[in-house]
Structures are given as C-alpha cells and as structure tokens.
C-alpha cells in the first residue's frame, strides 16, 4: 500500500505536464458546448502517453494517472478508452480515438472523431472501424462530441475480447475520468467564490457554501482513490464500486458546483459546464449508478 | 503507487484473525453487544489485552524503548481493522495503545512513564478523556473547568460531560483552565492537562442514559479535587499542542468502516437466508452502502499512507472522517429500512452497530467541524467572519 507516485510515474506525469504547459488547449472562438482539440489529442497520442499500459512494467494504474490528469483539461479528449480499455483487449496501439457504446445504434460519446467503435455483443467485446462519413453529429448539452452511426451495414465486427473485460475497464475508465472532471470543476468553483463578493464578503466565506463544497471535495477524493485502486487491482468489485460511487455522487456534486456559480455558471462563456456536463454525461453511462451498484453487490456477495 | 498488501502484511492479518478466533469466547457477541464502554466489555478487555500482549499484539507499534517493536503503522492499522470489525475486544483500552502511550512518550516525565505505562502493558488500565463540558463541545477551547494552583499542585473545580468510560476509569486525561490571573494568558494558552486519579476525593461520576452503548457517556463532577503538580502533563500553555498531537493519533485510530462493512456482510447473509436477495432494489441499496464503506476505507488508507511516508499533516484526516460518517450512516440507514427487525431483537449486533453509527458524526468532533476544516485547510476558502 503506497499512495505516492513511483519515480517513473512522477516523471511520466511531469512529462505530460510539460507537454500540456507548452501548448495551451485551443480556446474556442465562439460559444461551444464542448471543446475538441485535435492537435492536442494528436500530440498526446504521438508522445505515447496513451500507450503506457502496454509497456512492460506499467499497467492500467499508470494509464489512470494520465487520464485523470487529462480529464481536468477543459477540452474533451478521448484518452480513457485508448489508455485504459483498449490495452486489455485485442486492439492495436494507435487505432484510436475509440468510442465506447452499450448500443452501437445510439448516440455515442466521441463517435464523430472516433476511428473505432467498441461495444459488447453477448459475451463478446466487438470492434468496428468507423468511416467518419457515416457518423452524424448529435447536438447535445453534454460537453463531449456525440455522434450516431448510420447503421452497421457493411461494417465488419471483430471480436476483440470478452464483454466482461470491456465492461470492467470501462467502469474504471469512467471513474478515473469522473475524478479528473470533479477536481477541475471544484477548482473552478473555488476560484469563483473566492474572488466574487456579495454582502460584503467573499461568497466562499459563507458556511452554507463551504460545507457543500467540502463534501464535493470529499466526493472528488473518494472517487479518485476508489478509481486508482480499481485500476491497480483490475477487479470486478473494485471497478463497479468506483464507477457506481462516482455516478451516484455526480448529481449532487454538479448541482452544487452549478449553483455556486450563479447565472454565470449557466452560460457557455463560463467554463464550468465543460466539466459538469462531462460528468452528467458519464452519470448515465453503462446503465447508470444502479447498474454499477448491483454489479458491485453481485461481485462482493454473489447471487 | 500501489494498493496491495505485502505477503508479510497479509500474513499479519491472518495471524490477527487466528488469534481472535482462538481468544474470543463463544459468547463474545453477547459481551460485545453492549458497546466498548459496558461493564461486560471492560471486564473482558482486562482478560483480552493481556492475552493480546502475550501474542505480541498489544503494543507492537510502540517504540522499542517502551516495550514495542517499532512496527509499521500499516501493521497497526491492519490490526485495528480486524479488532474494530469484531466489535473492539480491547474495549476502552484501545485508547491506551493508540494515543495515551504515544502521548506519554512524547510529553510525559520519567515518573509519569513509570506510573502509567505498566498498567497499560498489563492490560488493566482504563482511561477516560475529560475534554467536553456542558458549554464546551465543538468549541473545546471554551472549556471552563478550573485548575487553581495551590501548594504542591492544583485544585480542580468544574464538570465534564459525555465522558466515555468514566465510571470504569482509573485515570482521567483532564483538560482544565488555569485562572487568568495566575495563567500566562487566557484562551488556549491557559489550558493545562492533568492526569487525575479517578479515586481522588471530590470526584463524582454519573452515567447518562442514552441511545448509544452502555458506559459510553457520563457526567463527571470535580469538587475541589486536589491534583499533585507531578500529574500535570507537559507545561502550562503546552496543552493545545499536546491535544493536536493526540487527536492525530486518535482520528486514524478507529477504522469504523470495518465494523460497518462487516455488519453489511452479515446483513446480506441474513437477506439471502430469508430469500430476499433476488430483489434488485435491495441489491442496489446494499451496493450503495458497500460503496460508502469502501470509499471510507480508501480515504482512511490515504491518511495512514501519509503517516507511513511521514508527509506533513494536511486536512485529509477531516475528509476521511466525513467519509467514515457517511459509511456508518449509510449502512445503518440501509439496515433500518430493509431489516428493521434487527432493531427489534432480531440481531443484537445490528443494534450494536447502529448505536456506534449514530455517534459517528458527533463523537471526536462533529462532522460539521470537519467540513469547516476541509473548507479552510483543504480548499483554502476564506474563513467565516468570527462572531465577537
Ligand atoms: C458517544 C460519544 C462519546 C463521547 N466521548 C467523549 C469523551 O470520552 N470525552 C469527551 O471529552 N467528549 C466526548 N464526547 C463529546 C464529543 O466530543 C462532543 O459531543 C462533540 O465535540 C460535540 O460537542 P457537543 O455535543 O457539545 O455539540 P455542540 O457543540 O452543542 O454542537 C451541536 C452540533 O452543532 C453543529 N455545530 C457545532 N459547531 C459548529 C460549527 N462551528 N459549524 C457548524 N456546525 C456546528 C454540529 O452539528 C454539532 O454536532 C463524546 C460524544 C459522544 C456522542
């Protein structure tokens, strides 16, 4: 048991921070519900950060550390599926971005930019390579690009592993990504309420706000440590617990963060929605908290 | 970063379990159901602690010069998890090994060490913690019990409340205030710590009937109680530093989620035996309670990790406390809704857990105080203006 970074992990994250520091994500020129930064996505992938779990001596936890860091960015990068899910399946490095679906006919996160769509079919995890021309973007408040495939005709499904593996890693990926979004959302709101004054004092000095944000901090930390543990153990129970905990808490956390940002928080100009509306998208994935909760119960106690 | 146990740590856990299986009597649950402060459990602690010591498991985390083995905090915590999960057979004596001893090593005189350590090692010492007062709970620094300097020591007058184990205790770890005229200053600086013999003339203990376990809360009255100067711990004015040191040891000392988790495991076994485990709603809710237990576990592990790696104290202890309160209440709420019969005589251990759970958010500093600390020390939010 050791919560500290290894030297390798510290230097990988330092390298990532250096890359991110040297090139600020492209600022949107007009109001957007999500930010897509293809150049940054390419730079991160090219530098190999998303393939870390494939390296000898490294694994899903190392990938999770990277994904959590990336999720704190305002832009919606596809990192979690590439870095955490794909390495556990028969998917070549570099075949990405990857969109994850429970139903390939539904509107799917990351699909407009994806080169591959991964979903469960019965007991199997199957992958199809995507022709972007066949994807229609879906307008949404969720701060991810969403798209819908025009159908499966003519697309070859390839079995890349077991559906259970896909689901387990997806849960871990979801929890890790949620942890990063929560951390960034809390930080944005802390800054807002520290600088904004009302009634002659900073908003952040009101206990009614402090307590709810303190709980948001507790949610964020608990989500993070549950997610990192799940990435390390790669166990069914830990994965379901981490994802379920995150999903369970998202409604309360995002409500509070939005609330403390006032009307400003409801604008596209204020960046908060770039995290809260990713979180709200994650809340409903894989069937939502109750599915994860029942899966956790089954993994812990059996039928 | 890694989240596994070494072989040696796993073997330690197995050993603790084996010792518990051997040492706990068949009627242990009957003993445990009244709570750590009950007559039954206190009496049993005086059999159990010596047995634990014989196994080398009472104070292995203490430094070698004091009879310990300098064992790692992780081993200490593994043992605490196992003991708390079965209902804390050390009874009130868990305090001795968690913080009374360590506080003595750091701040005690040679004579104090010689007086107080042997009974702890013998597994026969019961301490109580005389901090809270009727008008000083959350705001501990408002305490008023007076320690008036007199020839050879102090005269103590005042009253304490909510004092656990007081009726059984040999010694009280008492906070009192030196009168402003005599003291270096007022406020926190005028507090002294006195180690008071509970048999001293002038002390009266009154149990308070309560929803929590037996022997858990009392009033203690001090009427002109003489305390010799050599029973003062540390210097006048040093008390607050000692209290902070103590609370650091106290707050990670109790892995409450371990009993919550075990209670939940038992409940699921009962639900299965009642043929109710097919209900998806019930499974969902059990899963939610499970998540809260595991969240609390991971948060507490992060606190222990900070100590193991000697990191500076941050506000994470408060984050962990909040998670623990949520786990305790989450499990207890699940059981109250789905297994109310457990509180109607159906499962005494469910009731025992319930009684601990309802105190989790209040005892050792309310959850709301932890939220204040998180806001100020973790999120660095501006302080609320103080009332004058
Ligand atoms: C089972 C049990 C065992 C205990 N054992 C001991 C013991 O051995 N020795 C000992 O000295 N004490 C003991 N206590 C007392 C415990 O430390 C106090 O109950 C606790 O510090 C709170 O004080 P209070 O009860 O006076 O609550 P109050 O100070 O009256 O507060 C009541 C409530 O108000 C809220 N509140 C208070 N202050 C604030 C604030 N600043 N911001 C927001 N909300 C606030 C909290 O919700 C709090 O619970 C024990 C308590 C329990 C329940």
Residue B289: C-alpha distances to residues A170, A300, B267 (Å): 22, 12, 11
Cα–Cα dist A285/A282, whole Å: 5
Residue B355: HSE in the Cβ half-sphere, 13 Å Cα cutoff: 25
Q: Which atom of ligand 1 lies closest to the CA of B128?
A: 8
Name the pLDDT band for B181 (thresholds 50, 70, 90): low
Name the domain count of chain B: 3
Query: Which residues of chain A make contact with B1, given a CB cutoff of 8 A?
Result: 2-6, 9, 61, 65, 228, 232
Q: Let me know if residue B250 belongs to a domain.
A: no
The answer as to whether A102 is a domain residue is no
Whether B188 has a pLDDT exceeding 90, the answer reads no
State whether B294 and A3 contact (CB < 8 Å): no
Q: Do B2 and A1 touch (CB under 8 A)?
A: yes
Kind of pairing between the strands at A116-121 and A98-100: parallel
pLDDT of residue B216: 87
B4 contacts A248? CB cut-off 8 A = no
pLDDT band at B35 (very low <50, low <70, confident <90, very high): confident
- Is B182 in a helix, a strand, or coil? coil
Q: Does one domain contain both B373 and B281? A: yes
Q: Looking at ligand 1, which residue's alpha carbon is closest to its atom 13? A: B162
Contacts made by residues A94-100, CB under 8 angstroms, sequence distance 24+: A94/A45, A94/A51, A95/A129, A96/A45, A96/A50, A97/A41, A99/A130, A99/A147, A100/A166, A100/A170, A100/A173, A100/A285
The enclosing domain of B360 has a CATH number of 1.20.140.10
In a domain, A194, yes or no: yes
Backbone angles phi, psi at A23, to 5 degrees: -145, 100
Q: How far is A290 from chain B (nearest CA, A)?
A: 6
Dihedral sign from CA coordinates of A172, A191, A211, A259: negative
Q: State the nearest Cα–Cα gap between B318 and chain A, in angstroms.
A: 9
> What residues contact B348, with CB distance under 8 A and at least 6 apart?
B29, B30, B33
Tell me, what CATH number does B61's domain have?
A: 1.10.540.10
Residue B368 CB–ligand 1 contact under 6 Å: yes
Q: By the CB < 8 Å criterion, does A233 face chain B?
A: yes
In a domain, B388, yes or no: no
Q: Count Cβ atoms below 10 Å from residue B232 Cβ, excluding itself.
A: 21
- With a 6 Å cutoff on the Cβ, whether B93 touches ligand 1 is no
Residue nearest to atom 41 of ligand 1 (CA): B369
Q: How far is the CA of A283 from the centre of ligand 1 (A)?
A: 36
Contacts of A209 in chain B (CB under 8 A): 381
**Residue nearest (by alpha carbon) to ligand 1 atom 2:** B363
Residue B384 lies in a domain: no
**For residue B265, what is the enclosing H or E element?**
helix B256-273
- Nearest atom of ligand 1 to the alpha carbon of B175: 11
Ligand 1 nearest atom to the CA of residue B164, by list position: 8
Q: Which of residues 267-296 of A touch B (CB under 8 A)?
A: 289-290, 292-296
User: Are B192 and B86 part of one and the same domain?
Assistant: no
pTM reported for the whole predicted model: 0.97
Is A141 touching B (CB cutoff 8 A)? no
pLDDT of residue B314: 87
User: Quick check: is A22 in a domain?
Assistant: no
CA of B366 to the centre of ligand 1 (A): 5
Give the one of B287, B306, B308 whose C-beta lies nearest to A293's C-beta. B287
Cα–Cα distance measured from residue B23 to residue B41, given in angstroms and rounded to the nearest whole number:
14
Above pLDDT 90, what percent of chain B?
87
CB distance B365 to ligand 1 below 6 Å = yes
Confidence of residue B182 (pLDDT cuts 50, 70, 90): low
Mark which of B204, B237, B270 sits at the end of a domain.
B237
Q: Which residues contact B122 (CB under 8 A, 6 or more apart)?
A: B50, B53
Say which DSSP state B189 is in: G
A303 part of contact set with chain B, CB < 8 Å: yes
Give B-chain residues touching A183 at CB under 8 angstroms.
none
Determine the distance separating the centroid of ligand 1 and the alpha carbon of B210, expressed in angstroms. Answer: 15
In a domain, A212, yes or no: yes
Q: State the pLDDT at residue B101.
A: 96
Distance B140 CA to ligand 1 centre (A): 9
Centre of ligand 1 from the C-alpha of residue A268, in Å: 44
User: Nearest-CA distance from A152 to chain B in Å?
Assistant: 33
Q: What is the pLDDT of residue B252?
A: 61
Residue B80 counted as domain residue: yes
Q: Does A197 touch chain B (CB under 8 A)?
A: no
DSSP label of B136: B
Atom of ligand 1 at shortest range from CA of B365: 21
- d(CA A220, ligand 1 centre) in Å: 27
* Whole-number pLDDT of residue B236: 84
CATH number at residue B174: 2.40.110.10
Task: Determine the average pLDDT of the residues in B259-288.
Answer: 97
User: Using CA atoms, how far apart are residues A36 and A28, in angstroms rounded to an integer?
Assistant: 9
Ligand 1 neighbourhood includes B359 CB (under 6 angstroms): yes
A230 located within any domain = yes
Find out whether B178 and B236 touch, Cβ atoms under 8 Å: yes
More confident residue, B318 or B313: B318
Q: Which is the closest atom of ligand 1 to the Cα of B366? A: 49
For B289, the closest chain A residue by CA position comes to A293
pLDDT band at B184 (very low <50, low <70, confident <90, very high): low
The residues, ordered by sequence, that sit 6+ positions from B312 with a Cβ below 8 Å of its Cβ are none
Distance from the A132 Cα atom to the nearest Cα atom in chain B, whole angstroms: 39
User: Which of the 8 DSSP states describes residue B381?
Assistant: P
Give the domain extent around B139. 129-237
Q: Which of B217, B163, B225 is nearest to B194 (CA)?
A: B225
Residue B249 maps to a domain: no
Nearest in space to B192 (alpha carbons), one of B151, B156, B246:
B156
CATH number at residue A247: 1.20.140.10
Q: How confident is the model at residue B185 (pLDDT cuts 50, 70, 90)?
A: low
Q: Is residue A235 part of a domain?
A: yes
Please indicate whether residue B216, judged by its CB atom, sits closer than 6 Å to ligand 1: yes
Which of A209, A241, A301 minimises the CB distance to B294?
A: A241
pLDDT reported for residue A64:
98
Determine whether the shortest distance from the Cβ of B366 to ligand 1 is under 6 A.
Answer: yes
B320/chain A closest Cα distance in angstroms: 8
Co-location of B266 and B368 in the same domain: yes
* Residues of A with Cβ-Cβ distance to B306 under 8 angstroms: 3
Please say whether the beta carbons of A243 and A222 come within 8 A.
Answer: no
A218 forms beta bridges with none
- Domain final residue, candidates B66, B92, B125: B125
Min Cα–Cα distance to chain A from B45, Å: 31
A97 lies in some domain: no
Look at residue B247 in the predicted model and tell me its pLDDT.
83
Nearest 10 degrees: Cα torsion A28, A30, A32, A34: -10
Each residue's pLDDT tens digit in chain A (303 positions)? 999 999 999 999 999 999 999 876 666 778 889 999 999 999 999 999 999 999 999 999 999 999 999 999 999 999 999 999 999 999 999 999 999 999 999 999 999 999 999 999 999 999 999 999 999 999 999 999 999 999 999 999 999 999 999 999 999 999 999 999 999 999 999 999 999 999 999 999 999 999 999 999 999 999 999 999 999 999 999 999 999 999 999 999 999 999 999 999 999 999 999 999 999 999 999 999 999 999 999 999 999
Q: Give contacts of A 88-117 with B, CB under 8 A.
A: none
Assigned token pair, A200: 């002659």
Cβ <8 Å between B2 and A232: yes
B164 lines ligand 1 (CB under 6 A): yes
Do the Cβ atoms of B138 and B366 come closer than 8 Å? yes
Residue A198 sits in which domain range? 165-301
**Structural domain contains residue A179:** yes
Euclidean distance between the first and the last CA atom of chain A, given in angstroms as a whole number: 30
Residue A119: its pLDDT value, please? 98
Of the residues B237, B265, B297, which one is the last residue of a structural domain? B237
Point out the residue among A202, A214, A225 whose CB comes nearest to the CB of B299: A225
B381 closest CB neighbour out of A190, A233, A300: A190
DSSP calls for chain A: -B-SPPHHHHHHHHHHHHHHHHSPPPPPSS--SS---HHHHHHHHHTTGGGGGGSTT--HHHHHHHHHHHHTSSS----HIIIIIGGGTT--TT---EEE-SSTTS-EETGGG-SEEEEEETTEEEEEE--GGGEEEE--SSSS-EEEES-STTPPPEEEEEHHHHHHHHHHHHHHHHHHHHHHHHHHHHHHHHH-EETTEEGGG-HHHHHHHHHHHHHHHHHHHHHHHHHHH--HHHHHHHHHHHHHHHHHHHHHHHHTTTGGGGSSSSTTHHHHHHHHHHHTGGG-HHHHHHHHHHHHH--
Q: How many domains would you assign to chain A?
A: 1
Q: What is the residue-averaged pLDDT of chain B?
A: 94
B225 and B262 co-located in one domain: no
CA distances from A45 to A1, A49, A94, A234 (A): 30, 6, 8, 23
Helix (H, G, I), strand (E, B) or coil at B264: helix
Q: B385: which chain A residues are within 8 Å (Cβ-Cβ)? A: 201, 205
In a domain, B243, yes or no: no
Same domain, B276 and B347: yes
Compute, in angstroms, the gap from residue A249 CA to the centroid of ligand 1.
Answer: 27
pLDDT higher at B364 or A293: A293
Task: Give whole-number Cα distances, A26 to A16, B126, B172, in Å.
Answer: 17, 65, 64
Q: Could you read off the pLDDT of B200-217 as tens digits, one per residue?
A: 999 999 999 999 988 789
Q: Does A240 touch chain B (CB under 8 A)?
A: yes
Distance between Cα B365 and ligand 1 center (Å): 5
- Residue B118 counted as domain residue: yes
């Amino acid at each position: 048991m050791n919560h500290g970074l290894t030297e390798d992990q510290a230097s990988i994250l330092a390298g990532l921070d250096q890359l991110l520091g040297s090139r600020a994500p492209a600022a949107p020129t007009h109001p957007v519900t999500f930010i897509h930064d293809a150049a940054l996505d390419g730079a991160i992938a090219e530098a190999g950060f998303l393939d870390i779990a494939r390296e000898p001596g490294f694994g899903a936890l190392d990938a999770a550390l990277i994904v959590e860091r990336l999720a704190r960015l305002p832009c919606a990068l596809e990192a979690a599926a590439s870095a955490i899910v794909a390495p556990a399946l028969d998917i070549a490095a570099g075949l990405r971005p990857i969109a994850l679906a429970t139903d390939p006919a539904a509107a799917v996160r990351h699909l407009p930019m994806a080169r591959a769509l991964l979903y469960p079919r019965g007991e199997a995890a199957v992958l199809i390579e995507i022709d972007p021309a066949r994807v229609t973007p879906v307008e949404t408040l969720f701060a991810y690009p969403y798209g819908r495939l025009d159908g499966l005709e003519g697309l070859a499904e390839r079995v890349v592993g077991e559906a259970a593996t896909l689901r387990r890693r997806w849960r871990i990926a979801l929890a890790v990504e949620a942890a990063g979004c929560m951390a960034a959302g809390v930080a944005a709101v802390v800054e807002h309420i520290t600088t904004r004054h009302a009634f002659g004092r900073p908003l952040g000095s009101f206990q009614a706000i402090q307590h709810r944000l303190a709980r948001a901090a507790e949610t964020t930390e608990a989500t993070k440590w549950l997610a990192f543990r799940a990435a390390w153990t790669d166990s069914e129970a830990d994965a379901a617990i981490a994802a379920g905990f995150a999903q369970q808490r998202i409604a309360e956390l995002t409500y509070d963060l939005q609330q403390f940002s006032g009307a400003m928080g409801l604008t596209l100009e204020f960046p908060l929605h770039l995290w809260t509306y990713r979180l709200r998208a994650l809340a409903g994935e894989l069937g939502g908290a109750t599915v994860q909760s029942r899966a956790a119960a089954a993994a812990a106690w059996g039928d | 970063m890694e989240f596994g146990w070494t072989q040696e740590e796993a073997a330690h856990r197995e050993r603790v379990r084996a010792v518990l299986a051997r040492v706990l009597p068949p009627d242990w649950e009957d003993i445990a159901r009244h709570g750590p402060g009950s007559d039954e459990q206190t009496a049993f602690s005086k059999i159990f602690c010596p047995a634990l010591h014989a196994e080398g498991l009472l104070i292995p985390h203490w430094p070698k010069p004091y009879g310990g083995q300098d064992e790692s905090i992780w081993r200490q915590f593994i043992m605490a998890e196992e003991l708390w999960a079965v209902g804390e057979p050390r009874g009130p004596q868990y305090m001795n090994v968690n913080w009374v001893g360590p506080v003595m090593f750091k701040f005690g005189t040679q004579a104090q060490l010689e007086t107080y350590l042997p009974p702890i090692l013998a597994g026969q010492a019961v301490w109580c913690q005389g901090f809270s007062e009727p008008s000083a709970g959350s705001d501990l620094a408002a305490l008023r019990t007076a320690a008036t300097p007199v020839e050879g020591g102090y005269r103590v007058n005042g009253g304490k409340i909510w004092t656990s184990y007081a009726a059984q205790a040999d010694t009280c770890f008492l906070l009192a205030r030196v009168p402003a005229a005599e003291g270096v200053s007022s406020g926190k600086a005028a507090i002294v710590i006195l180690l008071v013999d509970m048999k001293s003339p002038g002390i009266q203990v009154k149990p308070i009937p309560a929803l929590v376990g037996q022997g858990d809360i009392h009033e203690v009255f001090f009427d002109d109680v003489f305390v010799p100067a050599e029973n003062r711990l540390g210097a006048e004015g040093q008390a607050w530093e000692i209290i902070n040191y103590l609370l650091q040891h106290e707050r990670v000392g109790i892995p409450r989620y371990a009993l919550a988790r075990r209670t939940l495991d038992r409940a699921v076994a009962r639900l299965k035996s009642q043929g109710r485990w097919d209900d998806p709603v019930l499974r969902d809710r059990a899963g939610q309670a499970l998540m809260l237990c595991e969240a609390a576990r991971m948060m507490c592990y992060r606190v222990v990790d900070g100590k193991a790696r000697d990191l500076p104290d941050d506000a994470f202890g408060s984050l962990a406390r909040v998670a623990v309160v949520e786990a305790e209440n989450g499990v207890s709420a699940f059981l109250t809704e789905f297994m109310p019969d457990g509180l109607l005589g159906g499962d005494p251990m469910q009731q025992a857990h319930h009684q601990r759970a309802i105190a989790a958010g209040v005892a050792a500093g309310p959850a709301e105080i932890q939220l204040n600390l998180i806001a100020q020390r973790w999120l660095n939010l501006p302080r609320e203006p103080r009332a004058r």
